[in-house]
Structure 1
């Protein structure tokens, strides 16, 4: 029988120790939360999951269980010998997810493993407890108390000043968290110096309110994991998102209580929910789960061969982009373990993460992935770095969400009718680019594995119009005076110069940092033919270049898109267009915004087939 989630959380819960007075068992009743966590309870949760849930929580369906996929460079901390040891095949270990805190110049980083101290740390006693911050020493203590011997901690198990070592180990982080017998999440502080709440005396003050009514004790339920973590620093950090999503078993040390989540059950200190047979009855803690992997449940084989994962991917991008990074250069790496897992799970680009995702963007669904918009109430700024020559350069390309320091959202065409309206995710009804290319790190132009989408609906009013997709000229070469940066998208499509004008009338057309602009053309008295969301500082009444990327999924009828005599409303298909700012005189551009135009009007503007170089 399929589980259902409770819509309401009880305001009071009867304590389990008093349940017998009403002829009830303790299950699904309250439990007293002490100042220190009951370690026996934690061991019971872990053991119950391991004994009764089997492969569902130990071997995710998408994992290559037949192959040990941790690299030879992977290390673990032996908490008995206090030494770094190789992560040999099938070794049991716990992983730690925590907040590093300030790692700016001058910050205490003496506890990091480096190329210089790596050899020393491989010897027994080579890792000194004296220099480790509190979060890490508590994690070591917890590992010992749980009867485990090995612990994975990024700052200790990866040589932080060795780019090669970091690349290999970061590239395997999906396997690191997936193969851990348990991941401990330290969500009680803002740095690595915060304790695990409740592990040691004085590190947690119980916030549980218990009152006696007619001889029975009742408690106000403590927050479930989602609510408990909502305002924590841990929940705002970029790296912690994929660590949460990829861990089959999660032990969350929240400020109010410890909560255990696995792929089947949720158990917490303040509620007796663990049953001897490992079954998972519906209860209030399940409504607040934070760590359910987007593909935790194995889909049918035929679904794995479709784009069923795309919606979850778009949601993950939104969730991840809303978080912050101490080092902006980590924007791709801090999302790469999750994209790697998705590529392997669904066999994207042959299961090769490097071909399936670039800069956090799903290459196989590139036309959809590019439909992101900045959140209207937040300033969108490029992620930039100052080079040794003093010049400021973008870290990542403008067409990728990782190229911007801003949360993003994916919304359907309705956002251009009612600004910031939300709604369903955007969908591509037909691909309008023949071939997509990208410049690799060696300066070569490579063809991307973008899935082609054929038209799935027909406009009855289409008539004899037929969109001719400009074909890629295989003889095209990069202009001799242009040096394309890695990550530059190169494709051929129709490009038109159109006028953008800020929309002045109507509800909800202006936000704090972004506004709704009309796209207009004076050709053939077409008037307003579309809309686009642009930053507020974008000058109104300015010509911009627009490149078509795809056709929307269905037909539309919009009263805002009228011709100059205001007597006709455009209807039919919308085309997605990217507004571009030139970056130099050689034809290279950057993304300025994403909008839509009506296809019937697009046919009448002076659009030309051009090769777009989008950096």
Structure 2
């Protein structure tokens, strides 16, 4: 049943109208047919099917964006490929190609009227309604997803196609035996075993929670393993892979030597996995993987109006961005180091590798453009916003500092795998107490190290004003010493640009107490020692001047 206003609106005319490209930079959508509707509810809208779905879509738009506009919303059609790319990958959809049909979607967006075919908005967080109808000759782009059943054959096809076709996604080291001390779960027997040579295994990335692991060297898994691990075992077997790596059971938690050995090889463990299961929809280990066993997925909302089947565009990367999993410090490097990822979200499963992104509900494939020089901002594809340049390393540190750690002494270990990965790839030379030392030709390491000292702490709104909590065990000159968000002065928001460190000299205290210049310290292998052997003292020589301050 439709109200009088919606009955007069012709949705099919909107879909048939000519489309023009969305001007991303200016946030100025062009369309030959735009409908406006108010957000307020009245007696008619409460029973109107179209009003209900439009208002539901409008309310999914973030509150902070709602405040910037009036209570009127625009309804217009746009090419679905670009829309879904922007929704899944993030704002850089122009750098993503998609393979699929050329249908359109209806978009609900807050805005300011600028003309009959043009309005302004300053956010990409609009909501969207997918239109499915055979009467228009459209192919069903967004498939309905079974809330209680995973399409494992589809998941296997994604993995097989990537394994056979994508050269860039192949692990550099396919021999698991080269990862010293690696243990895996034999899913066919529920046993923890030493990884056989040349074995394919799946890795699991999940929110550990507050519960401590009942760790021991026993081979048999306990009967009460967390549901997320039990479900991951099921998925691994369904994919035709026998072995699964889970830190809770494959690292002997009460053996400090084995634990440190495995942490130091975290880069190899995740980068050599056949794929990584990410439990992005699970806020804790007891939640499980939605759709695998007892935990159901969020059901589709489907409404039929004027012969059109209307359903909401799934949240895509936004659900990953807003997940508990994405707030944890350890999970950043787990996703970054993985070459293939299966995201198990609350709505569906998505697959991401170094070349493509696919999702269970979409009958299309997105080609990730490796040639882009600009960083991506999506949590779903972390390796695309950090490429090992000095700027992207500081971006990585900024993102990492916003995440949560249960044990603050793990602050360096939870990021060390990425630093090690970059070093072995030749992207930078070394790292000392979290300060990166780049390997750019013609530049001195001391200049990069000195630039790495130009960080500053941001006040956390949850803490008292002007309070900065120190993290014990780390030198005060390192960003690791501060609990909370940090940023670098190399940011474009600093009007005077990057600091000039051309005249700086830095000396580092070696383990024997000697002060060595940084170049000598690096050459002697000082940065390669375990962090437990590092000293916390450095000596800096640079230009300085007195700065009187009056209070």
The TM-score by the shorter chain falls in which range? 0.5 to 0.7
Equivalent position SS for 2:354: coil
Equivalent position SS for 2:95: coil
- Structure 1 residues 179 and 214, CA gap change in structure 2 (3 angstroms): same
Q: TM-score, normalised by structure 1?
A: 0.60
Tell me if 1:77 matches 2:185. Answer: yes
- Structure 1 residues 51 and 500, CA gap change in structure 2 (3 angstroms): same
1:80-479 equivalences under 5 Å are: 80-103=188-211, 108-110=212-214, 112=215, 114=216, 118=217, 120-121=218-219, 126-128=220-222, 130-201=223-294, 203-225=295-317, 227-274=318-365, 289-294=378-383, 309-346=389-426, 348-349=428-429, 356-363=430-437, 364=445, 365-378=448-461, 379=463, 381-384=468-471, 394-412=472-490, 422=493, 427-434=498-505, 436-441=506-511, 443-449=513-519
For 1:478-516, what per-residue CA distance to the aligned partner results, in whole angstroms no more than 9, with x for missing partners? xxxxxx982211233455554334xxxxxxxxxxxxxxx
Report how far residue 68 of structure 1 moved: 6.5
Contact 1:133 1:193 in 2 (8 A): yes
- Structure 1 residues 175 and 485, CA gap change in structure 2 (3 angstroms): closer
- Structure 1 residues 166 and 485, CA gap change in structure 2 (3 angstroms): closer
Distance in 2 between residues matched to 1:208 and 1:177, nearest whole Å = 33
Partner of 1:586: none
Partner of 1:14: 131
Contact 2:504 2:541 in 1 (8 A): yes
Distance in 1 between residues matched to 2:378 and 2:157, nearest whole Å = 20
Contact 2:184 2:244 in 1 (8 A): yes
Distance in 2 between residues matched to 1:93 and 1:230, nearest whole Å = 26
Q: Greater share of helix residues, 1 or 2?
A: 2
Report how far residue 442 of structure 1 moved: 5.3
Distance in 2 between residues matched to 1:425 and 1:361, nearest whole Å = 22
Distance in 2 between residues matched to 1:69 and 1:348, nearest whole Å = 27
Equivalent position SS for 2:192: strand
Tell me whether 39-48 or 5-14 shows the greater mean CA deviation. Answer: 5-14
Report how far residue 218 of structure 1 moved: 2.4
Report how far residue 257 of structure 1 moved: 2.0
List runs of 5+ in structure 1 lacking aligned partners.
300-307, 350-355, 385-393, 415-421, 452-483, 502-540, 542-615
Contact 1:96 1:184 in 2 (8 A): yes
Distance in 1 between residues matched to 2:176 and 2:264, nearest whole Å = 14
Equivalent position SS for 1:431: coil
Distance in 1 between residues matched to 2:396 and 2:299, nearest whole Å = 32
Report how far residue 83 of structure 1 moved: 2.0
Equivalent position SS for 1:73: coil
Distance in 1 between residues matched to 2:258 and 2:409, nearest whole Å = 17
Equivalent position SS for 1:499: coil
Distance in 2 between residues matched to 1:287 and 1:279, nearest whole Å = 14
Larger gyration radius, structure 1 or structure 2: 1
Distance in 1 between residues matched to 2:250 and 2:496, nearest whole Å = 39
Distance in 1 between residues matched to 2:393 and 2:348, nearest whole Å = 30
Q: TM-score, normalised by structure 2?
A: 0.66
Report how far residue 73 of structure 1 moved: 1.0
Distance in 2 between residues matched to 1:84 and 1:315, nearest whole Å = 38
Report how far residue 407 of structure 1 moved: 0.7
- Structure 1 residues 438 and 228, CA gap change in structure 2 (3 angstroms): same
Report how far residue 47 of structure 1 moved: 1.9
Partner of 2:39: none
Report how far residue 131 of structure 1 moved: 2.7
- Structure 1 residues 341 and 34, CA gap change in structure 2 (3 angstroms): same
Contact 1:332 1:402 in 2 (8 A): yes
Question: Which residue of the other structure, out of 145, 154, 159, is the alignment partner of 1:33?
Answer: 145
Distance in 1 between residues matched to 2:376 and 2:400, nearest whole Å = 21
Distance in 2 between residues matched to 1:374 and 1:335, nearest whole Å = 19
Partner of 2:161: 48
The number of aligned residues is: 405
Equivalent position SS for 2:414: helix
Contact 2:376 2:384 in 1 (8 A): no
Contact 2:341 2:351 in 1 (8 A): yes
Report how far residue 405 of structure 1 moved: 0.3
Report how far residue 67 of structure 1 moved: 7.8
Q: Greater share of strand residues, 1 or 2?
A: 1
Equivalent position SS for 1:151: strand
For 1:343-368, what per-residue CA distance to the aligned partner results, in whole angstroms no more than 9, with x for missing partners? 1122533xxxxxx1122211342112
